Amino acid sequence: MEVTTKDMGTVTVVTIVGSVDGLTAGALQTALEGQIQGGKARLVADFAAVDYASSAGLRTLLAAMKEARRAGGDFRLAAVRPDVLRVLELSGFTSILKLYPGTDEAVASYGP
């Protein structure tokens, strides 16, 4: 898994490539926590290149959302692939996390 970040105004886009599973969830959590602790609590995770998410990965997403909200921001998902979306739907995460078709829409959802 690879994680890169890009600031788009007051929102930070975290692009994830690969699987979010038991082997990679810790690294993703560290990366997301680092952004939030660095004052970047308005986050969008670009999932366009994520091909698999396990329960460990879902826990990481939930933890990031809670921490971002505690810091006055939020955590949103963009461009989730159909296979990963199915996992999110089956686990009930689509009612917890905000999902958008693309990163531009997710970034814009924060407003000015």
* CATH classification of the domain holding 53: 3.30.750.24
pTM for this entry = 0.95
What is the count of structural domains for the chain?
A: 1
Q: Which amino acid is at 47?
A: F
The range of the structural domain enclosing residue 94 comes to: 2-108
Rounded to whole angstroms, how far apart are CA atoms 95 and 1? 26
Which two three-digit tokens encode residue 1? Answer: 């898994």
Distance, in Å, from the CA atom of 1 to the CA atom of 19, rounded to the nearest integer, reads 6
What mean pLDDT do residues 13-33 have?
A: 97
- What is the Cα Rg of the chain in Å? 12
- Condensed to tens digits (0 to 9), the pLDDT of residues 52-95 reads 999 999 999 999 999 999 999 999 999 999 999 999 999 999 99
Bridge partners of 19, per DSSP, are: 52
